[in-house]
Amino acid sequence: MTSPKIINSDISQWLQNSVKLSTSPQTSFLPAASPSHFSGSPPQSYFPLSSRRSSMKLPPPKVLKPFATEDIKILLLENVNQTAVDILNQQGYQVEFHKTSLNEDELIEKIRDVHAIGIRSKTKLTSKVLAEARNLVVIGCFCIGVNQVDIEYAAKHGIAVFNSPFSNSRSVAELVIGEIIALARQFTDRSNEMHNGVWNKVSAGCWEIRGKTLGIVGYGHIGAQLSVLAESMGMSVIYYDVIPIMSLGMAKQVATLDDLLTEADFITLHIPALPETENLIGAPQFAAMKHGSYLINASRGTVVDIPALINAMHSGKIAGAALDVYPNEPAKNGPTFHSALNIWAEQLRSLKNIILTPHIGGSTEEAQSAIGIEVGQALVRYINEGTTIGAVNFPEVSLRSLTLEEENHVRVLYVHSNVPGVLRTVNEIFAEHNIDKQYSDSRGDIAYLMADISQVDAADIRDLYEKLERTPFRIMTRLLY
C-alpha cells in the first residue's frame, strides 16, 4: 500500500492564493489511520454488483480532501445534536456551534465565510441571506423539512442541501403502536377521569388488539416498520399503497383503499401530503369503514377531513381516533390549539376516546441523534468526496472511492447548467488524460458531474481547473486529490 502524501504543494499554494476557498482545493491527505467509519466509500447500494463483490479485495480507500481540514469552517445553529458536532469535529474542521438561531443580520455576517452551515427549522436561508455566502458549498438541514431554505436558489449557486427525512420512522411507528392499544382500551379517557377524581372501571367496548386487523395506508418507511411491530403483537396486517411493495412478514397488500377500509379494525395513515391525498379519508371513506373501527393519523394534517371524522365519532361509527397532525399547526408551543387556528378545534377536543398530540410522532432523543449522524455524515461526504446521495436540490451522484494505490489522480466535481454541449466541452478538456470513471446526472436546470482523472501532475491540475472554470455553463468547480 502506498502511504498518503502531499502530491503537489506548489499547486495547492497557487490555488489557494488565486481563488476563493469555495473552489480551491489544497493538496493534503488525512493520515491513513484517520478516516472514521463514515468517511470512506459511498453507500454500498450505489456500487455496481461486480465491484461490490470484489470490493473486499480492494486496497483501502484514499481519503480525499478539498482543503486542509482546519480551513473548513462550519457554522452550526439551533443546537443541532451532539452526534453531528462530534462527526464534524473529528474531521478537524473549524466548527462554530450556537444553541439558538441568529437574527438575519447576524446570520448574514456569519454565513459570509463558512463552507457549510447546519440548521434546524427556525433559520431562514433565503436568497437574500444565501447571496452573502461567498464560500458556502453545502447546507445541512438537521430536520425533516427544507421549507426554510430557498433550495432552488442554492442549487443555482452550486450549494447542495441535505436533510434527514427518514431518521424518525421508528419513533412514529412506536407511537402508533402505543395509540392502537390506548384506543382499544380507552385508557386516555380512564386516565383523564382519574385525574378528575373519577373511578370508572368498565370493560364494555374495550378490546385486546391480538387477532384484530390493522390496515396501513402507505407502506413506506413508517408503514413497513409498523407492520412488523403490529404482527409481533398478534395483529393481522393489510396495507394499501399506490405502488406494489413486497410485504414484510405475513402482511398482505390489498388492491384498493376500499378493500382496506372494509376489512380493517384499525386504520392508520402513512402517506405524503399531495393534492391527491387531500381529504383522502372523508365522509364516503368513514361510511365504508367497519362500525366501531379506529382511525390514526400521524402523517400529514391534510389527509383527513376532520369535520367528517367528528361526525363519524358522534355517530359511533368510529370508536376512537388518534391525531398527531392537523391542517393548521401552531408555530410555537403554548395554548394555541383552538378555533382561531382550526374552526373545529373545540368540537374535536370535546370528543371521547380521541388522542390529540402536538406533532410529536418523530420527536424522540433517538431520532434527533440519528438525524445528527445522517446529516453530519452527508456533509462530510459532500465536502470530502463530492457525493450528493440524499441531496434534495442536486442530482444524486457518487463515485466509488479512489484507493491509496491510485496515485496522481484528481477527482473533478463540476456543477453546471443543464444545457446542450456540456459533456463534449468537458470531455475535450479531459481528453489528454485518462478518465478512470465519470458519472453525471441532472435535476431540472442543474447538472453535476463527478470524474476521476488519472495520470495528472501539478500543472495538469491547474490546467484542468482553469479550463473548467472558464466554461460558460460552470456553476462551481471543485477538485479533490
Nearer to ligand NAD, 57 or 332 (CB): 332
The number of C-alpha atoms within 13 Å of 474 and in the hemisphere containing its C-beta is 18
Active-site residue among 115, 120, 170, 300? 300
Q: Give the shortest CB-104-to-ligand NAD separation in angstroms.
A: 28
Nearer to ligand NAD, 158 or 215 (CB): 215
Q: What is the CA radius of gyration of the chain?
A: 27
Q: Give the shortest CB-366-to-ligand NAD separation in angstroms.
A: 13
385: its cell numbers: 468526496
Contacts (Cβ under 8 Å, ≥6 apart) of 192:
none
Q: How many residues does the chain have?
A: 481
Q: Give the shortest CB-242-to-ligand NAD separation in angstroms.
A: 4
Annotated catalytic, 276?
no
Q: Give the shortest CB-155-to-ligand NAD separation in angstroms.
A: 22
Nearest to 29 by CA among 55, 2, 50, 51: 2
Annotated catalytic, 349?
no
Return the residue matching grid coordinates 502530491.
7
The number of C-alpha atoms within 13 Å of 241 and in the hemisphere containing its C-beta is 21
Binding site for ligand NAD (CB under 6 A): 144, 166, 168-169, 172, 217-223, 240-243, 270-273, 276-277, 298-300, 324-325, 359, 361-362
Active-site residue among 359, 406, 407, 443? 359
Nearer to ligand NAD, 5 or 252 (CB): 252
Annotated catalytic, 359?
yes
Nearer to ligand NAD, 300 or 474 (CB): 300
Residue nearest to ligand NAD (CB): 220
Nearer to ligand NAD, 74 or 180 (CB): 180
DSSP states along 247-313: PSTT-EE-SSHHHHHHH-SEEEE-----GGGTTSBSHHHHHHSPTTEEEEE-S-GGGB-HHHHHHHH
Quick check: 35 and 384 in contact, CB under 8 A?
A: no
Active-site residue among 70, 106, 132, 329? 329
389: its cell numbers: 446521495
Residues with a catalytic annotation lie at 300, 329, 359
